[in-house]
Amino acid sequence: MGKLTGKRALVLGAAAKDNMSQSIARRFAAEGAQVMVAGRKMDELERFAAEIGGHACYCDITKREDNQALAQAAVEKLGGIDIAVNGTGWGLLKPFELTTEEELRHMTDLQFVGPFFFFQAVVPKMSQGGSLIQISSATATIMLENHAAYMGTKAGFDHVIRCLANEYGAQGVRANSISPGLTESPMTAGAKAIPGIFETYQSRYPLGRIGTQDDIAAAAVWLASDECFMSGQNLQINGGLTLRGNPTGAELDAAAIKATGKPRPRPWEK
């Protein structure tokens, strides 16, 4: 019997092939849960849902009505919701003074307003208690240059998660965040392709390696399981990165120059 046998899980943000939310959903299914995945690309969601024997539903997290419809669809397809995971995000790298109003509003909608809507929609469906899981970031706690909009919204929603833990604990609802650091994934393949970058990051991990999506999925399984007696916390699933902190921009440039003779690319200068 799997750790999540009999559980009904909703995972939002699973519309990109082999991303972190898909890794979490795949592990949930392997542990016996019924799973619904959601996001904005139905072709990929339906392909992945078929792979894991689950269900797919469209949802733009920034729209309240989409979140309400998603929660209702999960009840209709799964019979209820025991686990709700928000894995959406936008890793914008841009200097503070260059971040536009449009980018800031989009980031806020995606990483603060949208998650608020999502958890507002799912909590009333948890009639027998359950587990709310927000994928946050180590950078909500420690520094990384040129990442202020992302970091600020992630940190702000970590505090909302603590509010949910406080307000709904009496109903048996747990609410926690997971904070990865730099993670081996298709989403970070571009950074890994720059010589010296991953090696510089790796030196900041006391456990000696960069994290994987499987590390995050394992943590999510524990948070979702009945073994978890914890709420209102932010799990730093990043190999001790928060003890040493991310490398500075100057350190990353020095590593790239040593390896290639030139600084690392600046996405905002394209």
Catalytic residues: 150
Instruction: Give the bridge partners for 183, in sequence order.
Output: 211
Q: How far apart are CA 198 and CA 189, in angstroms?
A: 10
Query: Are 37 and 55 a contacting pair, CB within 8 Å?
Result: yes
Of 83, 163, 149, 134, which Cα lies nearest the Cα of 237?
134
Q: How far apart are CA 174 and CA 164, in angstroms?
A: 8
Query: Are 231 and 203 a contacting pair, CB within 8 Å?
Result: no
Start-end of H helices in 79-209: 101-108, 114-122, 148-168, 189-192, 197-202
